[in-house]
Amino acid sequence: MDGLAGAHPKHLLLRLKDRSITEDDLYKLKLWRESEPDAPDGPWYEDFGTFKICGEGKYPKTFLLKGQLATGEEL
Residue 39 pLDDT grade (very low, low, confident, very high; cuts 50, 70, 90): confident
Query: What pTM, to 2 d.p., does this model score?
Result: 0.70
Report the alpha-carbon angle 8-31-23, nearest 5: 75
Q: Are 42 and 73 in contact (CB under 8 A)?
A: yes
Across the strands, what pairs with 47?
52
pLDDT per residue as tens digits for the range 16-25: 666 667 778 8
Closest CA to 50 of 75, 18, 22: 22
Domain extents for the chain?
A: 9-74
Report the percent of the chain where pLDDT is more than 70: 73
